[in-house]
Amino acid sequence: MIELLNLSKSFVTADGPVDALKHVSLSIHDGDIYGIIGMSGAGKSTLVRCINMLERPSDGSVIWDGTDLGKLSKKEIQQVRHQITMIFQSFNLLMQRTCLENIMLPLKLIHMPRAKAKARAMELLETVGLPDKANAYPAQLSGGQQQRVAIARALATDPKVLLCDEATSALDPKTTHAILSLIREINRKMGITVIVITHQMSVVQEICNRVAILENGAVVEEGEVSQVFSNPRAAATKALVYPDVAEGMEPDEGVNAQTVRVVFQGNDAAKKPMIASMAIDCHIAATILSATTRTLNGKAYGNMLLRIPGGPDELARAVKYLSAEPNVVVQVDAEYTQDAVNAREGQDE
């Protein structure tokens, strides 16, 4: 288990100190595929580099299986880095070395005999699906293939944890999907804990079981992916889960206008014509301000932002009607839009 306890990191820049991380506390359990998501500049990269001590935290600690990594010597940290390995957005392969030699690099660092290292590297090339590329140079490979070689390299020393720093951000959607499948397979078959840093919600959606949302260096929301996605609370999470809503919706300050967020889970709820039946049964013609559906692990999740005409009476009736449906959660959401406005103003400062 990896525990981040009250982790802070500040940098001294020409414009004064910058707090990249502010009191971050997270627990990542063995076997998790843990997503850390945030906009660029949220502090994701700094956070992941604190986990393997590429960046020394200014305050707080990183506890890995009971060991406080911040208290280890340089030598001991190097040992830990054979157990917590990393892949990158730009793959970072040695361009002057063949794929085989790239995968052998971590094994050379631990002084494994060459023949043994070579056999291990061949085995890993097989694992990542590139057995015929042993003697190819990285420049001869596609981006997806390069990332596969980088994954093989990261697996060479039998790590316990794999850190993925925007590992699919430079890849096209199809290749991204293939790489994510490979990472999930590694997680399941080898039992390696994976920490995924990304700005893409789709990545978290596809492979993570838990997620933390990072904004301005602080964790604003954390939990099971299905929970966070179906019922996002923090403004930053909503902005990530429903980017269309956050960007397109300006609250209309009309006296009677009230907005309601309707969240539904499961295929049954998703198939019901709720708004139409409400119009017939309650005579309330709601305006759909935005609506999205997405599928997580085969289960449909929907989210609608509705405006209910009339006054508080109609609002109450509508909430009551919609709440009666199974697997539907209704939030009176005037506050949401206000949150979103504040959050956006906060970012502009």
Assess 108 for contact with other proteins (CB under 8 A): yes
Find the part of the chain contacting other proteins (CB under 8 A) among 57-65, 133-141, 293-301, 307-315: 133-141
Assess 105 for contact with other proteins (CB under 8 A): yes
The Cα–Cα gap between 201 and 263 comes to 18
Q: What are phi and psi of 144, to 5 degrees?
A: -60, -40
Which residue in the block uniquely carries the two structure tokens 């009191």? Answer: 23
Assess 153 for contact with other proteins (CB under 8 A): yes
Assess 72 for contact with other proteins (CB under 8 A): no
Find the part of the chain contacting other proteins (CB under 8 A) among 87-95, 199-207, 219-227, 283-291: 87-95
Assess 88 for contact with other proteins (CB under 8 A): yes
Report the residue from 6, 25, 67, 78 that binds other proteins according to the rule CB under 8 A.
Answer: 78
Number of residues that bind other proteins (CB under 8 A): 29
**Distance in Å, CB of 96 to other proteins, minimum:** 5
Q: What are phi and psi of 305, to 5 degrees?
A: -110, 115
- Residue window 30-69: x/- pattern of binding to other proteins, with contact defined by CB under 8 A: ----------------------x-x---------------
Is residue 21 a contact partner of residue 217, using CB atoms and an 8 Å limit? yes
The residue among 74 and 174 lying less far from other proteins, judged by its C-beta, is 74
For 311-328, the three-class secondary structure string (H helix, E strand, C coil) is CHHHHHHHHHHHHCCCCE
Measuring CA to CA, how many Å separate 99 from each of 112, 144, 201, 251, 330?
18, 13, 31, 54, 54
Is residue 2 a contact partner of residue 161, using CB atoms and an 8 Å limit? yes
The Cα–Cα gap between 340 and 235 comes to 6
**Distance in Å, CB of 106 to other proteins, minimum:** 5
Assess 139 for contact with other proteins (CB under 8 A): yes
Is residue 250 a contact partner of residue 290, using CB atoms and an 8 Å limit? no
Please, where are the H alpha helices in the chain?
Answer: 44-51, 74-81, 99-109, 114-127, 143-155, 173-190, 201-207, 225-230, 235-241, 243-248, 267-271, 274-282, 312-323, 334-348
Assess 135 for contact with other proteins (CB under 8 A): no
DSSP 225: H
Find the part of the chain contacting other proteins (CB under 8 A) among 56-64, 132-140, 176-184, 319-327: 132-140
Is residue 141 a contact partner of residue 97, using CB atoms and an 8 Å limit? no
The residue among 158 and 268 lying less far from other proteins, judged by its C-beta, is 158
- Residue window 111-130: x/- pattern of binding to other proteins, with contact defined by CB under 8 A: --------------------
Find the part of the chain contacting other proteins (CB under 8 A) among 75-83, 194-202, 282-290, 301-309: 75-83
Name the helix (H) or strand (E) containing 7: strand 2-13
Find the part of the chain contacting other proteins (CB under 8 A) among 29-37, 94-102, 281-289, 327-335: 94-102
**Distance in Å, CB of 144 to other proteins, minimum:** 16
Assess 184 for contact with other proteins (CB under 8 A): no
* Burial class of 42 by CB neighbour count within 10 A (0 to 12, 13 to 18, 19+): buried
Write out the residues near other proteins by the rule CB under 8 A: 52, 54, 77-82, 85-86, 88, 90, 92-97, 105-106, 108-110, 137-140, 153, 157
